[in-house]
Structure 1
Amino acid sequence: MTGVRDVLVLAPHPDDEVIGCGGSIAAHAANGARVTVVVVVERERSGFDDDVTDEEFAQETADACAVLGVSRCVRLDEPSRDLRSSRRLHLDVVRALRETRPQVVYLPHDNDDDVEHRAVHRLGVEALWMAQSSFFGEAGEPMSAPELVLGYEVWSPLARFQHVRDIGEHLEAKVAAMGCYRSQLAHARWDEGVRGLASYRGVLTSGGGHAEVFQVLQVAARG
């Protein structure tokens, strides 16, 4: 989308922003938009991660965001597998929305199999309503409705989608950003996965190339 000034991406976990909409992020940034990424849950450690420090985990996200051209990354560091809805968490997201005042918002789609992805979807939808209301003044001034709110796919591919973006020009940036999550690649080759999914979506929607697909969750009414 050209003419978009500000974009906000709500990611449940570090790397979801790349898998779900990394090509779109790079496209927005290349077109001059300011992109804010809000990562809700902190990285969970596994047996592969004994030698990785918290600082190195954080640097992976910073490096990935830099590759995509992200202007600001906000890490809320909520506990993994113990994510709870709270006024504080909602206000943290509302504050980020009101500070950014985005024309386009990305969040996980509403039917992802991962329970935390679904929780962050609900969090995002509720925070969007809160950010536009005249209440919750402690989180800043109310914002206008975004022009477009899109649900992206990560763990569970979308069975139905309404929006397609050609990311051929930005595919390598997406793959390189995924490569910044070095500790994640010890678990699985997500860099190969994002390339393969983009190729599949390109073939499915256009007969070739590379694409990201989205659920359209909200389109602003025009007067």
Structure 2
Amino acid sequence: MTGITDVLVVAPHPDDDVIGCGGSIAKHVRDGARVTVVIVIGRERSALDDAVSDAEFAAETENAAKALGVHRCVRFEEPSRDFALSRRVHLDLVRVMREVCPQVVYLPHDNDDDVEHRMVHQLTTEALWMAQSEFFQETGGQAMPAPRLVLGYEVWAPMARFQYAEDIDGQIETKVEAMRAYVSQLRHAAWDEGIRGLARYRGAVSAGSGHAEVFQVLSLGARPAGLLAGGGHD
């Protein structure tokens, strides 16, 4: 994946981008890419972090993005548990897509156990079609070219099958650092150790050792997704 200029990551919730593809984000940044992250759904409060203000939580999100080297973080703040696939939210995402014109897009894989993750998968795939069409002129900008790669990432519903494995051995500490920026979320569970363990497991099953992130290949330019068997960008 050399020569990538713009990368778009669509995350259902704050920290899903870090968990799902944080190592790959850091690797793209290392290679000179501009990475834009869209977080669709806003914060869901719990008794464990209720004392954390919205401003403090927003700072955690910004600190995580900064740790990964994200160029721009866009928060839609859609309501958790009442999230709906409306025309408005589709157009909001289309507007960002047409601004960014990404060569690579990351989104949740299509069989995630979390219903909001599946909804954001649907939202993103539909917005990709809309952004490439000649319609929806109210978003501004022109129809964007098709991304050359669209990848589905896993969060806490591991994929039974994947087509692509990314070596993140050199980025695992950056990924863990970004997760640790979500101080309030670490009160729920040791997510930082969880993502390290998942990456180590994926490294073992894909390459025999090291750390990796694995992906569902949803689009590979004009070619069928099945043509990509695996590998990584160095």
TM range (shorter): over 0.9
Aligned to 1:128: 128
1:31 and 1:178 map into 2 onto residues whose CA distance is 21
Q: Aligned ranges for residues 36-55 of structure 1 at < 5 Å?
A: 36-55=36-55
Q: Aligned ranges for residues 31-180 of structure 1 at < 5 Å?
A: 31-139=31-139, 140-180=141-181
Unaligned segments of structure 2, at least 5 residues: 224-234
Aligned to 2:9: 9
2:49/2:185 contact within 8 Å kept: no
2:52 and 2:150 map into 1 onto residues whose CA distance is 35
1:50 and 1:112 map into 2 onto residues whose CA distance is 27
What is the CA distance between 1:155 and its match in structure 2?
2.1
SS of 1:111's equivalent in the other structure is: coil
2:219 and 2:39 map into 1 onto residues whose CA distance is 21
Q: TM-score, normalised by structure 2?
A: 0.94
2:175 and 2:143 map into 1 onto residues whose CA distance is 33
1:49 and 1:164 map into 2 onto residues whose CA distance is 34
Q: Once the two structures are aligned, what percentage of the paired residues are identical?
A: 68
Q: Which amino acid aligns with 1:51?
A: A
Aligned to 1:200: 201
Aligned to 2:226: none
Extract structure 1 runs of 4+ deviating beyond 3 A.
Answer: none
Number of residue pairs matched by the alignment: 222
SS of 2:216's equivalent in the other structure is: strand
Unaligned segments of structure 1, at least 5 residues: none
SS of 2:218's equivalent in the other structure is: strand
The C-alpha deviation readout for 1:189-212, integer Å capped at 9, x for no partner, is 110000000000001011100000
The C-alpha deviation readout for 1:66-86, integer Å capped at 9, x for no partner, is 000000000000000111011
2:194 and 2:144 map into 1 onto residues whose CA distance is 36
CA RMSD of aligned residues (A): 0.7
